[in-house]
Each structure stands twice: as C-alpha cells, then as structure tokens.
Amino acid sequence: MREFLQYLITGVGSGCVFALVGSGLVVVHRVTRVVNFAQGSFAVIAAMTASTLLASGLPHGLAEASAVAVGAGAGLLVGLVAIGRPGTPPGASLIITLGLAVFAYAVEVLIWGDQPRSFAGVPGAVEFGGVRFQAHYLLIIGATAVVFAGTAALFARTDIGRALSACASNPYAARVVGIDIVRMGLLSFGIGGALGGLAGVLVTPIQLVTFDYDVTLIVGGFAAAVFGGLMRPLHTLVGGLLLGVAQSFVAGYGNAAYQMEVALVLLLAVMMRQAARAPAAEQEPA
Amino acid sequence: MARRAPAVAVGVGTLALPPLLSGSHLTVYILLGLAVMVTVGLSLLMGYAGQVSLGQASFYAIGGYTAGLLSVHSLPPVLGLLAAPLVSAAFAVVVGIPLLRLRGHHLAFATLAMQLILLSLVARADWAGGAIGLQGIPRLSVGGYEFADDISYAYLVWAAVVLTLLVARNIVASRPGRGLRALASGETAAAASGVPVGRYRLAVFALSAAFAGLAGGIYAFYLGYLAPGSFPVLLSIEYVVMAVVGGLGTLWGALVGATAIILLVQVLNTLGTQPGMPGYAPSVLSYAVYAVLLVLVVIFLPHGIVPAVRARLTRRASSGAV
Amino acid sequence: MIDVVDLTVRYGVAVALHAVNLTVAEGEMVALIGPNGAGKSTLVNTLSGIQRPAGGTVSISGRLAHVPEGRQVFPDLTVDDNLRLGGWRIRNRDTGPIYEILPGLTPLRRRRAGRLSGGEQQMVAVGRALMARPEVLAVDELSLGLAPLVVADLVRHLRELNADHGLAVLLIEQNARLALDLCSRGYVLEAGRVVAAGTAAELAASPRVADAYLGVAG
C-alpha cells in the first residue's frame, strides 16, 4: 500500500508535466490546426534558462518565472515562422516546427553545451499516509492545477479566450467579425511556449534535462493530447496523469527501463482506437 | 535521348569519381549513396502517398541488423545482403497494416514511436549485441570476390543507387504508378477512380522500407559494426529534410536533396573541426544547417529545389521561344 | 453609405469582379441578385475587408457588418458567446439589446450554436452582426436553405431594423422575388459584371430579370 502511494504520487508528478506539454500542443492545435513539434523544446529552453539564472544568483521564483517568459518568447518565434506567412498549410507547418525543434538543438548546444542540467526545486520532504516524498511534487501538482483552471477560465470567460476558440471553431466567421486569426495563432503559440516552459522548470528538479529531452516530452505530451483529440484540455490532463501513473507503476513494479515504451504503446493504442472509430476521411490531412 | 543526357552524365561522372577520392572523401561518397537510397523511398512515400514518416531510419536499422546478424552467424554475407531489403519490407507490411490507418501528424508520431520502440528493444536484445552493439560483421563477399576496400564499397553503393533509381522510376512509370499519382492528388478522388488506396499506400511504404533496408545492409558490411545509437531519431528527421529539400515525389529531388545536404554538412563539419573552433561546433553547425534548410525550403520553395529549378527552366525555355 | 467605384477583384488569374459600381444610401435597402458564381459573395467579402480589391475603390461611411453566406456561426460556442464575438471589433460586450430586437434568441442563449436549426443559426448570425452596431448590414443569402416561414420571420426583422433603427441593408439573394419585394433598388450581377440596375419595380418589369430570375415567361 505504501509503495502504491509512493508510485502514485511520483506518477502524478510526471503526469502533470506531460499534461502541461500536451496542453500547449492543444492550445496551438485548437487555434491553428498545427501540431507543434517544437513544443518539447520550449520546456528544454526554459529549464536551461532557469538553471543559468539560478546559477547567476537570481532568486527562486524570479528565475523560474523569467524562464517561463523565455519559453513564451520562443513559442512566439516558432509561431512567427510556422504560421506568419499567410497561406502556409498546417501540414507544412508541422514540418516547419520539426525543423525548428532541430534548430533549437543548435541553439541549446551552443549556449548550454550538451551536458545534462538540473537545479534544486522546493527543498525538503513531505510525509503523507506514511509515505515520504520530495516536497517539490506538491509544487508540480499545485502549479498544474492552477494553470489548468486558469486556462479553462481564459477560454470560457474572457473575450480573448472566446476569440481564440472562435478561430478554432470557424476561422472564416472569425475573420468576418474582425478577429485577426494570424495574431490569435501567434498568441496561442506564445501560450503554448509558456505552458511548455512551465513544464520544463517544474520537471528539472526531479529529472536531469539534456538538450534532446524534448523527444521524451513531445512523445508524452502528444500522447496526453491525443487522449483529448488534440482539442480538449481537460482530457489532456487526464491523459497526462494516466500516462504518468502508468509509467510510474511499470517502473516501480516492473522494470524502470520500460518507461518510454509505456508512453509509446499508450500513444499508439489511443491513436488506433480513434482511427478505428473515425473514418479516415475525417482525420486531418497531412 | 536528350532528356536522358543529364542522367547519363551524372551516372558516368559518379562512376568515374571513386578512384579520384581520398579515404575520408570516399566514406562521404559511400554514406551519400546510402542516404540517396533511403531518401528515394521516403520521397516516394511522402510525395505519392502524402504521408510523413519520422521512422525511416528504423528500416535502415532493420536492414543493417538483418545483414549483420545473418552473417555473424556464418551465413554467406550475400544472403544477408539479399535478406536485408526483404526483411525490412516485410516488417513495413506488418507494422504498416495497423499504422497506415493513421494520417498526417498521427502517422508522423506513430512512425516516430515505432522507431523509438525498435531502438529500445534492440538495445535490450543481447542476441543482437544490446546497447553495446553488434561487432565483428564480416566483409561482404560474393562468390569468391571479397569487398575488402572502400573503393569496392563505393562501386557497390553506386550500383545499388542505380538499381534503386531504376526500380523507383519503373514503378512510377507503370500502371500502378499512375494510380499512385492519383493518390498524390487526393485519396478520395483516387478511391473514387478505382485505385485500391489502402493497398497502394502499404506497397509504397514497403518499397520505401526495402530501399532503406538494402542501404542498411550495405552499411553493416561497410562498417562491420552496428549499434542502436547509429540510428537515432535525428537520422530519420535528416532523411525527411533531404526528401523535402530536394522535392517530394521526384527521383532527382531525392538525389539532389541528399547530395546537397550531405556535402553541406561535410563542409561545415570540416569547418567546425578546424583548430580554434569549440568542441560543440560540428554538431551545432549540422543541426543548424538541417533546420534552416528545411524551414527555408518549406516556406519559400514548398515543392522543393528540383521542381522549382525545373519550373524556372521551363519558363525560360518558353519565354525564349516567344 | 456604401460607394463602390470600378471595383475589380481577382483570384490569381481569374477575374471575379470587373469594374463594378454600386451604391447604398443611408437607410436604404438594396438588393444584389444574380446566379451562383456571379461574384456576389466576392463583393460582400471585399466590402467587409476579407478580400482585397485589385482595382477601383470601396468607400464605406459608418460601420458595416456582414452576415456571411451559409450562416457561419461558431458551432462550438454558445449563442451568447457568438453574439459577444460580433462586438469584437468595437469592444461591445452588451448582448442585452440583441435579445430585445430578436426575442427568439432569448431561450437559446446558453445553447451551442452548432446544435441549432438553420433558421435559428441565421438569427444568431444576424444578431452577431448587429452586435457591431452597424449602420449598414450586408446579408449574404439570407433565405438559402431555409423554410419559407422562417424566411418570412427573418425578413420581418430586417424590415423592422430598417424602419425603426434606420439600418441600411445590402441584401445578396438568389431569390430575386424576395429581394425585390423587400428592397427599393437593386443590381443584377452576372459573371462579375453589373448587367442591370434600377428600382425594384423597374427591375421586376424588365424582361431580362423577369425571364431569368422571376420565372415569368416573356
């Protein structure tokens, strides 16, 4: 029982990270129909930025917040290249973001080298139900809860959120009422960058981050997002948590080396199930 | 005949090249040929079946391991080389039946997942050398002739590239090839005109795997050593870059794309390893060149270099005639 | 209100509109009729700024709102959110007056627009356009695909808006009888050119219009 709780908590923690990356994919995809392959890079860039800022003496909180802002800026830049030119089809934008993810490698290695980075998170340990775990997990879970609630409120209750939803719902009608859909798309990339950046600064204290850690994050994040059809943030949260917990149980009761496979097999299974239910013609073209 | 002239010139030129090349340049020549083979298949897959594969290096790996494993278990190497494309294609059929029901970015991620799963399985398979790799693969020999030096591999690769291009060209020009072109212009339309869309997509997927498998087989004999780390996801992305930059669905595009990128990366690599350059320079430069070329081409030449140049030549020819 | 002079619009090499001239005066209801593909929607899209003209000028004094063809609501959003987005340009969030003008929408305000009937969606699209507090309304294919009773209700609302609020209307219709009934003046657009213009009565009386659009033989 005690082991179970331990694995559950660590699983929820890493699940939150996947959910954050996945929700970034969802926000961008909802508004622009682009699957942003560079979503994992925002997390890596923010993680590296935070480690540098902390090392240079910036206090905790400020360093992480600045890193998230850098993530948002990176998101905006990716958006500018991917959708800034009118008429770029979503399929081409996927390839462009793939290229930008590789470009991020060049930037990351140039600035931070190819060695893994980490920094301390919330210090100390917490005891709960007879289980001790790093207090940092509470921050991950709390921050994720706040961010998901905030994103839901943004989309449901603000004019900007309605305009973002409108671009997703009917781009032509959005233009008719005077919404600048390119600007909204860029905003969604910025939000996606911030969500990815947050995932990065939250995960670094519990996981060494190297420049190519984006592959793990994008696969996990995409698996979470696919759970909600790349459209629904709450399903993405559920998908991310399921994935994190499943990985943690496989690692705990089985073999830690199989964590990545859990994500991959879950991803394939969810996609197959969706493909079996929806006819091919209804899926997104390439 | 005039239309064939560039092909003949390139063929003869590349055939004359190997004896003139030094050791490291010969290695580039060989690796370039192998990349062309993989890119030709991927270009057909992306250009005709309209699908992105981010797992093309898995077929390259399967071909390599097939050839390597068979020949370290003292089967004749030539058998291993022949089996490489067949096993890769068979694997593509088996995984393609479920995977190809997906489209677009779903298929892209599914093929990426396929490669990541394959790599970690291989890394844990002791019978395949595990993470350390498969050592002691003998040199290729056919009959009594052993491919011992680099020049012989250069000619082997040349012949394999020609074979790949001829097969690809004949398939594109055949009746099924016309069906494929219909597929490229839209699945619904192709299905409506009686093209068995599902089977064709699977066939192109298997063909692209066979090309990559053959290339992988040669790679295994040339290097004599294979490891999961030789086939990273980045390699699959590099093939996508080569195919997209050259121009999807064109054989010349695959040739030009792979050549341009391999040579450019080689030049930058030489530059990056100059004394005084930091240790990370080569990798930074190669990442940057893949990324920048891919992004620039997708944005400014969405059909790739070769179709863009062709269009310009045609325009010049027709305006000259007026 | 609307002053279109020598407007030319191209899609690539295809010319959608050739030197079109059209005016709508303050408080006027003007019909634009013509067959499918004549360029009617291109004209409205140009008026609302979605399409760029290749030549000529479009000047609009006051605010124009656009009810696009095919209703084009935001299907995943509620009726109220649909209306609010109509006020996006002028930051108008007050949907209350719309429910007074179109009381039929009141019971639907929390429903998702995609779940509504065609007539209800058209009402949402009109209400959304009114949120922009327009002085002129361009309505693209008001009646298309709707039952006659539903159309009659929508027409009644347009008449009221015109009479009570002085709203000018440019009505783009394939149903020429409806358009000429409702409007005082009209234009006939064919293959991107204005081929006839005049008062509704003149147009209805002209053999060309009667023959092609009103189904009256010679």
The verdict on residue B241 lying in a domain is no
Measured in angstroms, the CA of A225 and the nearest CA of chain B are apart by 11
Q: Which residues contact A217 (CB under 8 A, 6 or more apart)?
A: A17, A18, A21, A39, A40, A43, A44, A196, A199, A200, A203
Chains touching B, CB cut-off 8 Å, 3+ pairs: A
pLDDT value for B3: 67
Measured CA to CA in angstroms, residue C19 lies from A66, B61, C39 at distances of 55, 63, 12
Q: Is B14's pLDDT higher than 90?
A: no
Q: Which residues contact B142 (CB under 8 A, 6 or more apart)?
A: B78
Q: What percentage of residues in chain C have a pLDDT greater than 90?
A: 67
The verdict on residue B278 lying in a domain is no
Measured in angstroms, the CA of C25 and the nearest CA of chain A are apart by 22
The verdict on residue A9 lying in a domain is yes
Nearest to C181 by CA among C31, C41, C68: C31
Which range of residues forms the domain containing residue A49? 2-120+133-274
Return d(Cα C199, Cα A168) in angstroms, integer.
42
Which range of residues forms the domain containing residue B167? 18-231
Give one DSSP letter per residue of B150-216, joined into a string. Answer: HHHHHHHHHHHHHHHHHHHHHHHHSHHHHHHHHHHT-HHHHHHTT--HHHHHHHHHHHHHHHHHHHH
How is residue B22 written in tokens? 């030094």
Whether C189 contacts C34, CB under 8 Å: yes
Q: Is C215's pLDDT higher than 90?
A: no
User: Between the ranges A53-57, B269-273, B274-278, where is the mean pLDDT highest?
Assistant: A53-57
B186: how many CB neighbours lie within 10 A of its CB? 12
How is residue C16 written in tokens? 């959608």
Interface A–C counts its CB contacts (< 8 A) at 51
CB contact A86 to C (< 8 Å): no
Question: Which CATH number characterizes residue A110's domain?
Answer: 1.10.3470.10
Return d(Cα B251, Cα B164) in angstroms, integer.
10
Q: What is the mean pLDDT of residues B132-156?
A: 87
| Burial (Cβ within 10 Å: 0-12, 13-18, ≥19) of residue C168 | buried
What is the complex's ipTM, to 2 decimals?
Answer: 0.89
The verdict on residue B321 lying in a domain is no
How is residue B77 written in tokens? 């190497």
Contacting residues of B for A258, CB less than 8 Å apart? 120
What does the angle CA A19 – CA A24 – CA A29 come to, to the nearest 5 degrees? 120
Whether B153 contacts B218, CB under 8 Å: yes
The per-residue pLDDT for range A119-159, each reduced to its tens digit, is: 888 888 888 878 888 899 999 999 999 999 999 899 888 99
When divided into structural domains, chain B yields a total of: 1
pLDDT value for B320: 55
Which of A181-195, A256-270, B94-108 comes out lowest in average pLDDT? A256-270
The verdict on residue A264 lying in a domain is yes
Measured CA to CA in angstroms, residue C29 lies from C2, C91, C181, C186, C194 at distances of 12, 27, 10, 9, 18
When divided into structural domains, chain A yields a total of: 1
Return d(Cα A171, Cα A183) in angstroms, integer.
12
If residue C64 lies in a helix (H) or strand (E), which one and from where to where?
A: strand C64-67
The per-residue pLDDT for range C120-168, each reduced to its tens digit, is: 999 999 999 999 999 999 999 988 888 888 899 999 999 999 999 899 9
The per-residue pLDDT for range C29-59, each reduced to its tens digit, is: 999 998 888 889 899 999 988 888 999 999 9
Residue of B nearest to A87 (CA): B299
Contact A173 C73 (CB under 8 A): yes
pLDDT value for C218: 39
Measured in angstroms, the CA of A173 and the nearest CA of chain C are apart by 6
pTM: 0.89
Q: Beta B145-146 vs C55-60: how paired, if at all?
A: unpaired
Contact C72 A176 (CB under 8 A): yes
The verdict on residue A171 lying in a domain is yes
The verdict on residue A209 lying in a domain is yes
**Which of A21, A44, A77, A103 to substitute to test the interface with B, most B CBs within 10 Å?**
A103
Mark whether C and B touch (3+ CB pairs within 8 Å).
Answer: no
The verdict on residue B311 lying in a domain is no
The verdict on residue A127 lying in a domain is no
The length of chain A in residues reads 286
How is residue B301 written in tokens? 């030449």
The verdict on residue A125 lying in a domain is no
The per-residue pLDDT for range A178-211, each reduced to its tens digit, is: 999 999 999 999 999 999 999 999 999 998 999 9
Return d(Cα B311, Cα B302) in angstroms, integer.
13
Nearest to C205 by CA among C189, C194, C195, C216: C216
The verdict on residue B115 lying in a domain is yes
